[in-house]
A and B are shown apart, each in its own frame.
Chain A
Amino acid sequence: MVRSNTISAMKANRLFWLGRYEERVYMTLHLLRQCYDKMIDGNTADYEEFWSRLDCSGAYSTPEDFRMGMLYDEHNPNSIMSEMNYAKDNAILLREDITSETLSFIEMSIAHMKACKDKSETNITALQPITDWGLAFWGSVFQRLHNQKIIDLIVIGRNIEYIDMLIRFDYPFERIRHAYEEIKSYGKDMTRIFDTMIEAQLDSLFTSENYDPLNMDYKNKVLKYINQLVIV
Chain B
Amino acid sequence: MADVSINALVDSRNSVNKWMERFGVRFGVYKKGVFREQLFPFDSVPRIISKKDWDYLEKGLRQRVQALNMFLWDIYHDKKIIADGVVPTEFVYASKGYMPECEGIDPTLKVYAHIAGIDLVEGKNGQWYVLEDNLRIPSGASYPMIARTVTRKVTPEAFADNAVADNRDYADMLRQMMEDVNEDRGIAVILTPGRYNSAFFEHSYLAEKTGATLAYPGDLIVEDNIVYYEGLYHEKQRVGSIYRRVSDEYMDPLTFEPESLLGIPGVMEAYKAGNVALINAIGNGVADDKGIYYFVPKMVKYYLNEEPILQNAPTYLPYYKEDYDYILANIEKLVIKDVAEAGGYGVVFGNELTPEKLEELKALIISEPRRWIAQEVIDFKDLEVLDSEGNGSMRKADLRAFVVSGKETRVWASGLTRYASNPNSFVVNSSQGGGFKDTWVMNK
Residues of A at the B interface (CB closer than 8 Å) are: 1-12, 92-93, 95-96, 99-100, 103-104, 107-108, 111, 192, 232
The smallest beta-carbon distance between A184 and chain B, in angstroms, is 18
CB of B232 within 8 A of CB of A96, answer no
The 8 A-B pairs of least Cβ separation, nearest first, read A96-B207, A95-B204, A96-B208, A6-B231, A4-B213, A6-B237, A8-B219, A4-B187
Give the distance in Å from the alpha carbon of A11 to the alpha carbon of B232 in the complex.
Answer: 8
Interface of A is mostly: helix
Apart from A4-B189, A8-B219, 8 more pairs, CB < 8 Å: A1-B175, A4-B187, A7-B232, A8-B230, A10-B216, A95-B208, A107-B22, A107-B23
Q: Could you tell me the distance in whole angstroms from the C-beta of B334 to the nearest C-beta in chain A?
A: 43
Query: Known contacts A1-B188, A108-B22: does B218 contact A10 (CB below 8 Å)?
Result: yes
A-B CB contact pairs (8 Å), 19 listed: A1-B175, A1-B211, A4-B187, A5-B237, A6-B229, A6-B235, A7-B232, A8-B218, A8-B231, A9-B232, A10-B218, A12-B232, A92-B24, A92-B195, A93-B216, A95-B205, A96-B212, A103-B24, A192-B233
Residues of B within 8 A of A1 (CB): 175, 178-179, 182, 187-188, 210-212
What residues on B are CB-neighbors of A99 within 8 Å?
Answer: 208
- Per the CB 8 Å criterion, the residue count for chain B at the interface is 33
Instruction: Please indicate the chain B residues that have their CB under 8 angstroms from the CB of A96 in the complex.
Output: 204, 207-208, 212-214
Q: Which B residues are within 8 Å of any A CB, using their own CB?
A: 21-24, 175, 178-179, 182, 187-189, 195, 200, 204-205, 207-208, 210-216, 218-219, 229-233, 235, 237
Residues of B within 8 A of A11 (CB): 219, 232
Residues of B within 8 A of A3 (CB): 187, 211, 213
Closest to A3 in B: B211
Count A/B pairs, Cβ under 8 Å. 83
Q: A8-B231, A92-B204 are in contact. Are A107 and B213 (CB under 8 A)?
A: no
A93 — nearest CB in chain B belongs to which residue? B195
| Complex Cα spacing A94 to B288, Å | 33
Complex Cα gap A93–B197 (Å): 12
Closest to B19 in A: A104
B182 contacts across to A, CB distance below 8 A: 1
Closest chain A residue to B176 by CB distance?
Answer: A1
Nearest B residue (CB) for A111: B21
Q: When chains A and B are docked, how far (Å) is the Cα of A111 from the Cα of B208?
A: 23
Question: In the complex, A148 Cα to B25 Cα: how many Å?
Answer: 27
Whole-angstrom distance between the Cβ of B241 and the nearest chain A Cβ: 9
Q: A103: which B residues are within 8 A, CB to CB?
A: 23-24
Shortest Cβ distance from A10 into B: residue: B216
A140 nearest CB across to chain B (Å): 13
Q: For B21, what are the chain A residues with a Cβ–Cβ distance below 8 Å?
A: 107, 111
Q: How far is the CB of B203 from chain A (nearest CB, A)?
A: 9
Chain A residues whose C-beta falls within 8 Å of the C-beta of B231 in the assembled complex? 6-9
Contact of B204 among A5, A93, A111 (CB under 8 A): A93
Tell me, in angstroms, the Cα distance from A100 to B24 when the chains sit together. 8
Shortest CB-to-CB span from A108 to chain B, Å, is 6
Report chain B residues within 8 Å CB of A4: 187, 189, 213, 229, 237
Smallest CB–CB gap between B146 and chain A, Å?
A: 8
Residues of B within 8 A of A6 (CB): 213, 229-231, 235, 237
Rounded to whole angstroms, the CA-CA distance of A6 and B235 in the bound complex is 8
Which A residue sits closest to B235, measured CB to CB? A6
* B205 near A100: Cβ-Cβ < 8 Å: yes
| Smallest CB separation, B22 vs chain A (Å) | 5
Taking CB atoms, residues of chain A closer than 8 Å to B214 are 95-96
Question: Does the CB pair A104–B23 fall under 8 Å?
Answer: yes
In the complex, which residues of chain B have a beta carbon less than 8 angstroms from the beta carbon of A232? Answer: 232
Give min CB distance, B145 to chain A, whole Å.
11
Cα–Cα, bound, A11→B182 (Å): 24
Whether A10 and B219, one on each chain, are in contact in the complex, defined by CB atoms closer than 8 angstroms, is yes
Chain A contacts for B195, CB-based, 8 A: 92-93
Q: Shortest beta-carbon distance, A74 to chain B, in Å?
A: 15
Distance from A17 Cβ to chain B, minimum over Cβ atoms (Å): 14
Closest chain B residue to A13, Cβ basis: B232
Distance in Å from the Cβ of A56 to the closest Cβ of chain B?
28
C-alpha spacing A10/B237, complex, angstroms: 16
**Which of A2, A12, A95, A108 sits near B207, CB closer than 8 Å?**
A95
Chain A: minimal CB distance from B350 (Å):
43
Is the CB–CB distance between B208 and A100 below 8 Å?
A: yes
**Chain A residues whose CB sits within 8 angstroms of the CB of B235 once the complex forms:** 6
Name the residue on B nearest A192 (C-beta): B233
B427 to chain A, nearest CB (A): 28
Which residues of B are found within 8 Å of A95, using beta-carbon distances? 24, 204-205, 207-208, 214
| Bound form: Cα–Cα A4–B229 in Å | 9
* Chain A proximity of B264: nearest CB distance (Å): 13
Contact of A8 among B187, B200, B232 (CB under 8 A): B232
Residues of chain A within 8 A (CB-CB) of B212 are 1, 96
